[in-house]
Structure 1
């Protein structure tokens, strides 16, 4: 039963993330071809303020409900009321702080942009409980539907605005319309109606767990966006636009895999948290499967970065080619780090989660101090170094608890790295003799995938068999559901 739920969860979460990421990717390509790099840079300047506000709204209480074994309607209503209150507080805070933000970045138009974009906080607050309900029930199918609806409506509105000359406002409209559509869909699909009830005891219990995740979330958002602040302050908006585009490209693949694993692994590991043997089995398998996918994928994107950028974005974005080639390697260990941290949350050790997150702060500060004066490329190379070191830190405590630490995890990845190196050599030799960008991208992608699977077969990787079995489970579940 647990295996069936896990397989269905992974399948629908994968469908959700693929659909959302592909949809967002397609929309971003169209918008990048129409808009200018500085438009994306202006939105990048606001990212930290929206992200921090969103962290307070989410606050870890929803995660606390997922982790708990017993939940009541009062718990969900308490979370709903809390979300609405915090959304209001932070929106009006951003409204009055907007002029100061504009002065800091020396961009007067940020006042109106932040005040309108901030409305998205209300939509987030209205939908957290509905999404939490669906995650608890492992109903990722409904989540996938609502996210796709948001992508479609948001994408259409953004592209329509861009083609009609709205510039940076196109990105604002895309976000707001997409969030509104997603929110309405979640309310319709979750079939949960809130009552305006707030229980102090329920909030206290949830906050005891969620407060640590809130602090960790704020810290993570600060680290994720701190480069935007410094780039926006000391470099032109165009440079920040190049940086955010390279980052978004890299996040499409690694971020998608990480989201799938985080969404599925946390409730799944929380379900079996009392059975150490099952925890280790699921935990180690997810580490290996994520490495099996993300390491060759990031390498392939780096090898084909030139054709990807020039074909999809045009030479207007040629500057981001070397940035993308480095940025993808800063995301190689992201999915594995997500699983390691999800394990700590799943077993109720959000205190350890917090300690692990804070222990990485010196790495980021050192990288920031060294690379900010050297330019955007140096900043991204700093990302690569710190992400590798952060993986070791993230894996240390879970490894100490369950005996599957960073060295063991890296040892399991060595055959995957070997197969990836083989693939990289084949793709490099192939693309070296091809001058046409379309052919380079097509044959590089196809030959890269085939050669990687070939080397996996040569090295007799168990992950190849496990992926095949997962696909067979998908087929069986799909076939059985049609019969019923």
Structure 2
């Protein structure tokens, strides 16, 4: 537990330094090019792991045949999808109307191959709850790739290629570190029964993940095509500022919850209790930071990114709420996967994607803008959340009223945290770092007071249970 959350704080500090320096050194168009290329990268990434990582974590029993087969499959699939990325790069460039995006994606294909091979060692570390090792490797990877390579190259004028180089170097460090600590089998062979079992589970997971990718990326492609790379850079940085604290906290949480839920997947009462405990933790680490970032956007963006990023401040509250809702839904998705409900997840993603496509089509026809594309994403995430709420939560053995109590308590914390910031930044017009810092501290103090009140008793009980479960992580 200590290493997981300690790594979160250290990683967040390093990311803040990197973000502040790079946003003042590299122009919005460069960030837009990388954001567009990363859409293509994520496209092949879902195909590259083929759900093998999830299958390794989820399997009740795992032997050396399973692991060696998973390794062989990940290498083979990684080669195929890296080549696919090279071939598909001109298509991406045509979609976003940026020829240079093709070259960026071709180089990022190398990082894709490295990431595909990393899938199995990372899954083994997650399965065995070796979060200390994972945290150390991740911190070293970010420090070497982004701080020691990315920033110096950006200062030397490499522009978009400093972002590309940082990503590739980090992928190489992660592969090296995970492989060295995961205790991989010494032989490299394929067992047909193991391959069928891994691909049988992973295939459906991949199909669902691919639709999740489309749902989370169509707005990015739409911005790149109809607004341009500079606008996409603004859009991606606005999203990144929300993701900066929230994604790391959520990843630290779900990284532990996935194997924990899988371990009790056949014990309905214990599974439901574990889910509710996890729901409280994820709600707090998602809703409170999103509320703070959204309310502080007019002051936060100039402080972290510098001048010239005002459009990012305008879209940040919308994409922040969309991002938060998506991550809240992610816990139910993790639980559904642990219970083997991958086909139901697939159906939900089909409906969500259809809603997003319709919303983007209407936006393009009536007048595209950054905020309107952000609203498309928000609407799609709301549809997905409601579908999981209606179709998945009851099948997990969880009473919706119990889950609603936890979400309501987390929202009360968020309102307390945001109130002083709204008064200072939104209503008072203050934009300095001192005013933002003091109002944020006041908000956190008010949120802590709410958390100690009877209204948040259920959160305190759940967090105590989670703390006990994660103490060894």
Q: Please give the range of the TM-score, normalised by the shorter of the 2 chains.
A: over 0.9
Which residue matches 1:3? none
1:251–1:200 CA distance, 2 compared to 1 (3 A): same
1:371–1:194 CA distance, 2 compared to 1 (3 A): farther
1:415 corresponds to 2:406: no
**Distance in 1 between residues matched to 2:265 and 2:469, nearest whole Å:** 25
> What TM-score does the superposition give when structure 1 sets the normalisation length?
0.90
1:382 corresponds to 2:373: no
Q: Partner of 1:118: helix, strand, or coil? A: helix
What is the aligned-residue RMSD (CA, Å)? 2.4
Deviations 1:401-442 (A, max 9, x none): 244355552343223323433443343334444735112211
Q: C-alpha displacement at 1:370, in angstroms?
A: 2.6
Q: Partner of 2:60: helix, strand, or coil? A: coil
**Distance in 2 between residues matched to 1:72 and 1:169, nearest whole Å:** 42
**Number of corresponding residues:** 469
1:129 corresponds to 2:120: yes
**Distance in 2 between residues matched to 1:443 and 1:89, nearest whole Å:** 52
Q: Partner of 2:298: helix, strand, or coil? A: helix
Q: Partner of 1:316: helix, strand, or coil? A: coil
Q: C-alpha displacement at 1:470, in angstroms?
A: 6.8
1:434–1:50 CA distance, 2 compared to 1 (3 A): closer
Decide which of 19, 40, 56 is 1:49's aligned counterpart.
Answer: 40
Q: C-alpha displacement at 1:17, in angstroms?
A: 4.1
1:455–1:99 CA distance, 2 compared to 1 (3 A): closer
1:61 corresponds to 2:52: yes
Decide which of 219, 223, 244 is 1:231's aligned counterpart.
Answer: 223
**Distance in 2 between residues matched to 1:397 and 1:474, nearest whole Å:** 28
Which residue matches 2:77? 86
1:250 corresponds to 2:236: no
Q: C-alpha displacement at 1:225, in angstroms?
A: 1.4
Q: Indicate if the aligned counterparts of 1:307 and 1:437 stay in contact, CA closer than 8 A.
A: yes
1:38 corresponds to 2:34: no
**Distance in 2 between residues matched to 1:362 and 1:96, nearest whole Å:** 27
Q: Indicate if the aligned counterparts of 2:393 and 2:399 stay in contact, CA closer than 8 A.
A: yes
1:271 corresponds to 2:234: no
Decide which of 311, 316, 323 is 2:315's aligned counterpart.
Answer: 323
Deviations 1:459-482 (A, max 9, x none): 44125534774797599879xxxx
1:158 corresponds to 2:150: yes
Q: C-alpha displacement at 1:295, in angstroms?
A: 1.8
Q: C-alpha displacement at 1:124, in angstroms?
A: 1.1
Q: C-alpha displacement at 1:100, in angstroms?
A: 4.0
Which residue matches 1:107? 98
**Distance in 2 between residues matched to 1:433 and 1:247, nearest whole Å:** 25
**Distance in 2 between residues matched to 1:176 and 1:420, nearest whole Å:** 37
Which residue matches 1:451? 446
Deviations 1:196-218 (A, max 9, x none): 31122111111111111010111
Higher mean alpha-carbon deviation, 313-322 vs 12-21, is at 12-21
**Distance in 2 between residues matched to 1:18 and 1:356, nearest whole Å:** 34
- Gap runs ≥5 in structure 2: none
Q: C-alpha displacement at 1:244, in angstroms?
A: 0.7
Higher mean alpha-carbon deviation, 58-67 vs 165-174, is at 58-67
- 1:393-412 equivalences in 2 (<5 Å): 393-404=387-398, 406=400, 408-412=402-406
Q: Indicate if the aligned counterparts of 2:416 and 2:443 stay in contact, CA closer than 8 A.
A: no
**Distance in 2 between residues matched to 1:197 and 1:136, nearest whole Å:** 21
Deviations 1:312-362 (A, max 9, x none): 111211221111122211123233211111111112222222222223222
- 1:192-207 equivalences in 2 (<5 Å): 192-207=184-199
Q: C-alpha displacement at 1:114, in angstroms?
A: 1.9
Q: Indicate if the aligned counterparts of 1:305 and 1:324 stay in contact, CA closer than 8 A.
A: yes
Q: Indicate if the aligned counterparts of 2:19 and 2:305 stay in contact, CA closer than 8 A.
A: no
Q: Indicate if the aligned counterparts of 2:32 and 2:231 stay in contact, CA closer than 8 A.
A: yes
Higher mean alpha-carbon deviation, 325-334 vs 281-290, is at 325-334
Higher mean alpha-carbon deviation, 351-360 vs 245-254, is at 351-360
Q: Indicate if the aligned counterparts of 1:399 and 1:406 stay in contact, CA closer than 8 A.
A: yes
**Distance in 1 between residues matched to 2:93 and 2:465, nearest whole Å:** 50
Deviations 1:291-318 (A, max 9, x none): 2332222111111112211111112112
Which residue matches 1:187? 179
1:309 corresponds to 2:301: yes
**Distance in 1 between residues matched to 2:100 and 2:159, nearest whole Å:** 12
Higher mean alpha-carbon deviation, 264-273 vs 112-121, is at 112-121
**Distance in 1 between residues matched to 2:387 and 2:338, nearest whole Å:** 18
Q: C-alpha displacement at 1:30, in angstroms?
A: 1.4
Which residue matches 1:440? 435
- Gap runs ≥5 in structure 1: 1-7, 479-484
